Structures are given as C-alpha cells and as structure tokens.
Structure 1
Amino acid sequence: KEGRVVVPLRFVSETLESAVTYDGGYGGINITSVAYQNKIDSGAVTVDRWGRELRTKQTSKEWNLMSDTPDNVYGIKKYMITHMKGQIDAKNYINRFTKEELDRIAKNVKDYYKFALNVDYRTINATAYFSKSFDLMGHNGYMNPMPFDEFVSFMKKNKVIVEGYAFPDTSTIYSYHGTQFIRTKFKFRVLNAIDITQFNGDSYNPGGRSDKVTWVKKGKWYETYSDVSLFSNSQDIQGTLKIGSTGNMFTKGAYLYKELK
C-alpha cells in the first residue's frame, strides 16, 4: 500500500516467538518478546496498565514519563478554558480512574477524531454531521446546529478530503482550572482542499485561540501532539468524559507538529 509492504502482524510476531495480545478496551495491540517478558518478570522493566514501558528515571513531579514518548511532548504548554483555581497533575489524577474508565475516555476521543479527521466533501451531510457530533461530544443536552451547518457548507465549498486518527495517551489525563484534558498524538494528511489550511473542525476558521496551519502540504502525513479538552454533564466524570471542544489540535503555543517522511 502506497509503496509500503503490509504483513499479518500476529503471524509474523508469533513466528518470531513473540506473544501477541489485543487490548479490546483500549483498542491496542501488545507484542512481547520472550526476552522482554523476562525483563518485566525480573523487575528490570516496569510497564503500566496498558503494557507501555515507564522510563527507569521518573524525574517529573507532573507526568508519568513513558519510554515511547519524546521529551518535548511533556513540555507542551497547557491552555486554560475556564478560570477556576487549582489543578491536579497527571501523575496524581490518573490514580482516580480505573483502567476501564480510562479506556472509555480514550475510546471517546478516538471515535470523535475518527469521525472529525476523516472528511470527504463529496459525501459529507450537514444533518448527519451534526447528529454524529451530538453523540460524540460532551454537552449539557443542547448544541446549536448552526455552526455545524456552516462548517459542513465550508467543507463542501473548500472541497476537503482529509484522513487521520488520534492516539490519546491515558497516562497524561489531568485537571487544569476546572477542565479535564488528555494529551493526544494525531496523524493526518490532507488529500484535497482549495484552502489547505482549513481541513477539519480544529483548523476551521482560525483566530483567537487557534493557529492558522500554514505549514500543511497536500498529501503529506503529519504527526502532531496537543491537549484535548474533555467535558461531562455527569457528576461522576470517571469514564463519562467526552470531547469538550471542536478546536484542540492547533491551540496557539500549545501543540507540536512534524512532517513524516
């Protein structure tokens, strides 16, 4: 596919004597070699509830540092939505959630961006787009359909075709001045657009809080990191949090991006 060879993951891994397990709650696949499992069993390596490796040196009071996460991701600026006092860092906040609750929150974020980062102007429909947004976002029971109608109209006019997905990092959920956030990695590419800087809800009509993404090039894959705001109308927020805003990916001064080769 697109110049790359795709192989059956389980067959190749198990042929190389690695164990393959599927985490249905989070939607992740863990591949563990015999040598790596021995390191876990001996305590030389520590993994979290999802099988991800924690760094040996935990030098941060704010984050649980993961071996597979670049240093600069932990330095992304936090942004404030409300003005309540107080914050709870990820290192402490994650302990309030069970794995099942965090799996549901991660799935909510994944499902939203599977929807919002896969737009095709030839098939998008305003009524269906609003209905799906209503289901996938956290709200108080009411959402104004007009901004969604205007967005869909623009996507059609701009001839947008984009594809992508999100990887919310369950180790990074935190509370900041009354709002919950989860640090998230995105991958996307814009296949078509007249104005290529506006290709989804997060990049649409920039200004105020969001940047105009002038660095995007047609057909190129990008990897970005930013905080996704979460919201729930329930007093019991554990596992009920959903996307709280349609603009998370390109908040001014609060995201990272790189073009993938």
Structure 2
Amino acid sequence: MIKKTIAAAVAAAVIMVGVGTIQVNAVPGKDLQILPIIVNGQKVRFPDTEPYVNTDGRTMVPVRFVSEMLGADVTWENSTQTAIIQYEGKTIRMPIGSNTVTVDGAAEELDTAAEMYEGRTMVPLRFVSEVLDSKVEWDAGAHSVKVTDAKYQAKVDTGEVKLDPWGREYSKTQDDKWFRLADLETVGFYDFYSKTATTSRTFIEDRSNTYVSTGNVLASKIRNYYAVQLNVDYRTIDEKAFTKAFMNSASGRITKNSYLEGQFEETIKRYVKWVKDNKVITKGYADPELSAVHGIGTSVWIPTHFKFIIISAKDSNQAFLDSWDVSSLSDAVKLKTGVWYDGYSDVRMNSVVAEATWGEDHGIANFENMFVKDIYFYNMSVK
C-alpha cells in the first residue's frame, strides 16, 4: 500500500432492500462525529454507512458487521423485510420498522425499531449486543462504544490480551517506536508511518500522567471541526457556523493573532462561496488515533482516520477545504463523486504557550491536513 492509493469501488451493500418493496427510512440525529465501535478489542471498519444516534437517542449500527464479529450469522428475509441473526442456537428476528422483535419465537418490545438507511439494515446496538451475550459500555471521553463478550473479557482478565487505554487490543508484535494495535496492523498503518513518523512510543511514555485526558480533549477538537468540514451542503452551509467550528478547535496561534484570524476567516468565506457556486454536498468522518501521536518541539501530529464521500460537486477535486486551493505543501488530488474514500493522514496541532509540547491548549494549526505530501495514505488511487 502506498501513499497515493485509494480503492476504486464502494463495497456492495450486504443487506439490501428488495426491488419493489416498501422502505422505512431512518432519520439519524444531528451528531455528525464518527461513533467508533470497538468489538472485542478491534475497531469495526464499516465499508460505507457508519453508526449513528437516531432520533430516539439510540445507537444504530449496520446489523451484519457487529453481529458477525461476535460470532453470529446474519441473513435477510426479503419477503418479510426482516433481519435474522443466529447465534449459538438462538434466533433473533428483527423486522424493519417494527418495535417488536422475537428471540427464539418469544416476542420482545424495543424502544426503537430496526430501520433502513442508505441501503443498510440498522439495528439498536445495545439490544443486539446484549442478546448476543456481550457487554456494552459508552466511553464518553473517547466518544466511542465498547462491546465485549465474556470469552474475550476472560482473556483480558488473565492478561492473555492487553488493551490500550481506549479498549483496543495491542498487537503481539511490539517495537521501540510504537504501541502497536492489532487492528491498525491489518490496514498497513505501521508499514507506512514507520517510514515517515518520529518515535510515537517515547512521546507517549514521556507524558503518561496526562496522556489519556489530554488526548481525549485534542481528539474532540479534531472530531468537532471535521464534523463540519467533511459534511457540507451548498443548500444549508453557514459561513458563521463553519468559522466558529474551526476557531473553537484552532490553535491559539491563530485565534490570539488578529491578523492571522482574519486571514483564516477570509479563506473560509471564499470557500463557502465556492461550495455554493459548485453545488457541493459531502459526507465524512474523522477519527483520531491517539495511540500513535508524535511530536517535535511545540507541534504535535495526530494520525487520523479519514472517511469521506463526495455526493455532488461540479469540481470534485476541491470539494473539501483541505483540498481546496491547496499550497505547495499538499497534493492536488483528483476525487470522484459517489465513492467512499478511506485512509489516514496527520492533523498538525500546536500551541500559543511557549515551549508547550503536549496540552489541552493545543489546537489545529492549519486547513491542509488530509493530503499533505508524504504523510497520508488512502486505499484508492489519488493522482
């Protein structure tokens, strides 16, 4: 896998609505931050539709991926529009649009119904996980959900499996540069960043007392800003809201310097106008990797998982502010509409505090993070 490779096709929907059937559409809530789901120490990678909190306040997930990671089999019964989950002799039937489900033939009433969204069958995470004998925990600081079954928890309790502070499984292969995570090894993360990054392990070890709390704060800044930057719609984009989102997450070197602040505000103003003129609609998520942070001097780089799609744009090559009118520091990328792009890049953060190397005062240092030369890689070709 190399820096400028991105996969060419969107994975086909696993559970689709049959031709001519009636579809019950979900109406997700307003939170556009990615909602990581960690199942038995592995962060789930969804090929397209991500989990969301619905209007009933329940976390909804694509039924197949979480269920299969817990050892269940999932099928779709088109004639009744029902997802069927089979697990260790147990059968769960979840009809689309109905709050009534059956477990081995016995009816149960849920406070939210399974729903169809973007061609995926979405089901309430807590019910499905618990009926599959797993524990569900919400980690507010990390903005993530952990799902763990008894067999895996026993391995954690005996020390057979070790987890990072956010519930992700450490690889059996470690080195002096990284706290290696098993799920990041499978996507070629270390193959790429071992060639480019300074030592992450030493950086983290030197800041062990404040690392988790500070990391959660900085990750929240990245998620909050990119929830706005990656989810634009020319029909509803608001310049003031966009500017506020950036400034709330930006470095004090920008927000405490009236000239620089004005320059950044002017760039956002021109970009918003461009979005409207070019009828841009995009969707995406940013998920910081806190076990791989590295830094030099007052700057900190947080490798971040970016996932995004351009739904519409006259010029798709500049749809995001990160790829719009870029400087010589970034690659001018060619992106297609209707394709999910998925990969990693570093978000640079710095502080206005003299000689600060790690702290909650750090903020995003610039607009260009997703395609900075030599520090990103995706699983599709970007030329």
Indicate whether the TM-score tops 0.5. yes
Number of the residue aligned with 1:172: 292
SS of the residue aligned with 1:94? Answer: helix
Query: Equivalent of 2:128, from 6, 9, 12?
Result: 12
Number of the residue aligned with 1:223: 342
Residues paired across the two proteins, number: 249
1:31 aligns with 2:147: yes
Number of the residue aligned with 1:107: 220
1:44 aligns with 2:160: yes
1:91 aligns with 2:201: yes
Q: Is the 8 A contact 1:230 1:241 kept in 2?
A: yes
Number of the residue aligned with 1:210: 330
Matches within 5 A, 1:138-217: 138-140=251-253, 141-142=256-257, 143-144=261-262, 145-176=265-296, 178-214=298-334, 216-217=335-336
Distance 1:101 1:178, change over 3 A: closer
Q: Is the 8 A contact 1:224 1:249 kept in 2?
A: no
**RMSD of Structure 2 on Structure 1 (CA):** 1.8
Number of the residue aligned with 1:256: 377
Deviation (angstroms), 1:78: 4.0
**What are structure 1's unaligned runs of at least 5 residues?**
80-86
1:167-197 CA distance string (max 9 Å, x none)? 1011011113542101110111001111101
1:81-132 CA distance string (max 9 Å, x none)? xxxxxx6x21021230332211111111111111111111112233332233
Write the distance in 2 (CA, Å) between the matches of 1:19 and 1:126. 42
Number of the residue aligned with 2:180: 65
1:118-162 CA distance string (max 9 Å, x none)? 111112233332233222211331312222211112111221111
Q: Is the 8 A contact 2:252 2:362 kept in 1?
A: no
Number of the residue aligned with 2:246: 133
The amino acid that maps onto 2:119 is G
The amino acid that maps onto 2:267 is P
Write the distance in 2 (CA, Å) between the matches of 1:152 and 1:136. 18
Deviation (angstroms), 1:251: 1.1
Q: TM-score, normalised by structure 1?
A: 0.89
SS of the residue aligned with 2:241? Answer: helix
User: Runs in 1 of length 4+ with deviation above 6 angstroms?
Assistant: none
SS of the residue aligned with 1:69? Answer: helix
Q: TM-score, normalised by structure 2?
A: 0.62
Write the distance in 2 (CA, Å) between the matches of 1:205 and 1:67. 37
SS of the residue aligned with 2:171? Answer: coil
Write the distance in 2 (CA, Å) between the matches of 1:131 and 1:14. 40
The amino acid that maps onto 2:179 is N
Moved more, 92-101 or 165-174: 92-101
The amino acid that maps onto 2:314 is I
Q: Is the 8 A contact 2:229 2:242 kept in 1?
A: no
Write the distance in 1 (CA, Å) between the matches of 2:305 and 2:315. 24
Greater percentage in strand: 2
Write the distance in 2 (CA, Å) between the matches of 1:99 and 1:131. 26
The amino acid that maps onto 1:226 is S
Number of the residue aligned with 2:53: none
Percentage identity across aligned positions? Answer: 35
Q: Is the 8 A contact 1:162 1:188 kept in 2?
A: yes
Q: Is the 8 A contact 1:13 1:20 kept in 2?
A: yes
Distance 1:35 1:148, change over 3 A: same
Q: Is the 8 A contact 1:104 1:240 kept in 2?
A: no
Q: Is the 8 A contact 2:232 2:280 kept in 1?
A: yes
Largest Rg, 1 or 2: 2
Write the distance in 1 (CA, Å) between the matches of 2:242 and 2:220. 19
Q: Is the 8 A contact 1:229 1:243 kept in 2?
A: yes
**What are structure 2's unaligned runs of at least 5 residues?**
1-116
Number of the residue aligned with 1:82: none
Write the distance in 1 (CA, Å) between the matches of 2:310 and 2:177. 35
1:6-43 CA distance string (max 9 Å, x none)? 11111111111111100001101111111101111111
